[in-house]
Amino acid sequence: MRYCGWVVRKVQVGRVLILEVSTSSSVRLSVLVFKPERDRDLYATVRDVDVGTALCFEGFPAEEQKSKRGIEYVVEKLEIYAKPLEPLPVDTAGKTPVLLDTRLKYRWLLARKPEERAIVRIRSGIIKAAREYFEANGFTEIHTPKIVAAGAEGGATLFKVQYFENDAYLSQSPQLYKQMLIASFEKVYEITPYFRAEKFNTPRHLNESWGIDAEQGFISSVEDVMKTLEELVAYIVNYVSKNYREELEELGIQPLQLTTPFKRLKFTEVVDLLRNEGVDVRENEDLSDYAERKLGEIMSEKKHYLYFIVGFPWSSTAFYYMREEDGIYTRKFDLDFKGLEIASGGQREHRYEKLVEALKDKGLNPENYSFYLEAFKYGMPPHGGFGLGIERLLMKILNLENIREAVLFVRDRTRLIP
């Protein structure tokens, strides 16, 4: 077999020379052992190899596996492709602790470490699992614009860009476009970036993030959408637990097994639960980060690690959510995972007149949404959908402390490079 990768550590033990190599074929290191009496020609070659060297080797696993850091190989052939021009700025062997800022700056290089590589591989697995679920359940993958004329949520969280002679914005969400496509498709999904100009600098916020979005038509109620979301999340988590055991073990994470349905909580119930714990919660506002975390503690004590919050007040939701008959509450839901909102969605308003009314009630100009409203004139069925945050889901699966650990190239208030 031929394997390619990078030297992350070089050790001399007596006359034995050991190279630890990070390859893409496994999250575990390949440990290459060279003995002068056995590997005379190769031994002379690897004596000049530096940490960071890119190489390929052919060989077979040693009969006696002595290394605790990876799979030990007897090498038959070795080719060197590139040596570093200078010492590496970070320790890819993982022996020296790295501050978060330095880690984020050199994440592309630190991905040679098994722990960092494991996070990236599991993130990839989340996306594979999502596509597998959607394709098996009749959804069509779509791709919507990322430069848009109007925001799905409006407000001050839009990144403004100059688009020739016009003002435009980076997309906050594919929300409006995926709804428009329900005029012709029953079920659609997209794996997509979100851009939000939120001036937060917390461990749970990014200004560029990625999400898994879905929309489905001809629904009977919001429960149809919640059922799709909980099945998707359970499928993803169980897929990762089954197919990424080596990566989870490398990170010290116990595999999860989820079953559905998840617990449902009405927003009014949540308010009562939190107030009983002394948390100040407003009946007409969304939950604060602190309130979400406290609710997570309460629900974890009850062994509910994933749970829906349903029936949000209209005053705290976007214009496109369907209002209940009382006009106070909506058919919006959040899905929380141990105190962190990982997804939100609900049943949308599909009636043209009601949508125009909702836009005006939110202080938005319907003329700015004419392209979107037109789709509701020609037989738009009852529909609903959701957006699931990839970084947030990964953060909870792996018990990461900071959402920035869940993405390779971070975009937040202070980071525009690398």
Q: Are residues 124 and 266 in the same domain?
A: yes
Provide the pLDDT for residue 388. 98
Q: Are residues 289 and 243 in the same domain?
A: yes
Q: Are residues 236 and 151 in the same domain?
A: yes
Q: Are residues 202 and 351 in the same domain?
A: yes
Do 30 and 21 touch, CB atoms closer than 8 A? yes
Provide the pLDDT for residue 155. 65
Q: Are residues 67 and 204 in the same domain?
A: no
Please indicate, yes or no, if residue 415 is contained in any of the structural domains.
no
Digit-coded pLDDT (tens) for 103-115: 999 999 999 999 9
Q: Are residues 289 and 335 in the same domain?
A: yes
Q: Are residues 39 and 74 in the same domain?
A: yes
Please indicate, yes or no, if residue 390 is contained in any of the structural domains.
yes
Nearest-angstrom CA–CA distance, 227 and 68: 44
Q: Are residues 228 and 287 in the same domain?
A: yes
Do 229 and 387 touch, CB atoms closer than 8 A? no
Q: Are residues 63 and 190 in the same domain?
A: no
Q: Are residues 54 and 200 in the same domain?
A: no
Provide the pLDDT for residue 64. 87
Rounded to 10 degrees, what is the CA torsion of 227, 230, 232, 233? 170
Nearest-angstrom CA–CA distance, 315 and 396: 29
Please indicate, yes or no, if residue 7 is contained in any of the structural domains.
yes
Q: Are residues 65 and 155 in the same domain?
A: no
Please indicate, yes or no, if residue 311 is contained in any of the structural domains.
yes
Domain end among 53, 88, 123: 88
CATH, residue 157: 3.30.930.10
Digit-coded pLDDT (tens) for 378-407: 999 999 999 999 999 999 999 999 999 999
Digit-coded pLDDT (tens) for 286-304: 888 899 999 999 999 999 9
Provide the pLDDT for residue 163. 95
Partners of residue 213 on adjacent β-strands: 190, 387
Digit-coded pLDDT (tens) for 59-91: 999 988 988 889 999 999 999 999 999 999 999
Please indicate, yes or no, if residue 109 is contained in any of the structural domains.
no
Q: Which domain holds residue 340?
A: 114-406
Supply the residues annotated as catalytic.
196, 198, 204-205, 341, 344, 392
Provide the pLDDT for residue 186. 98
Please indicate, yes or no, if residue 83 is contained in any of the structural domains.
yes
HEC profile for the chain?
CEEEEEEEEEEEECCEEEEEEEECCCCCEEEEEECCCCCHHHHHHHCCCCCCCEEEEEEEECCCCCCCCEEEEEEEEEEEEECCCCCCCCCCCCCCCCCHHHHHHCHHHHCCCHHHHHHHHHHHHHHHHHHHHHHHCCCEECCCCCEECCCCCCCCCCCEEEECCEEEEECCCCHHHHHHHCCCCCEEEEEEEEECCCCCCCCCCCCEEEEEEEEEECCCCHHHHHHHHHHHHHHHHHHHHHHCHHHHHHHCCCCCCCCCCCEEEEHHHHHHHHHHCCCCCCCCCCCCHHHHHHHHHHHHHCCCCEEEEECCEHHHCCCCECECCCCCEECEEEEEECCEEEEEEEEECCCHHHHHHHHHHCCCCHHHHHHHHHHHHCCCCCEEEEEEEHHHHHHHHCCCCCHHHHCCCCCECCECCC
**What's the angle, vertex CA 163, arms to CA 195 and CA 368, rounded to 5?**
75
Q: Are residues 118 and 79 in the same domain?
A: no
Do 203 and 156 touch, CB atoms closer than 8 A? no
pLDDT band at 149 (very low <50, low <70, confident <90, very high): confident
Please indicate, yes or no, if residue 97 is contained in any of the structural domains.
no
CATH, residue 50: 2.40.50.140
Domain end among 88, 103, 131: 88
Digit-coded pLDDT (tens) for 83-94: 999 999 999 998
Please indicate, yes or no, if residue 414 is contained in any of the structural domains.
no
Counted domains in the chain = 2
Digit-coded pLDDT (tens) for 176-227: 999 999 999 999 999 999 999 988 888 999 999 999 999 999 999 999 999 9
Provide the pLDDT for residue 152. 62
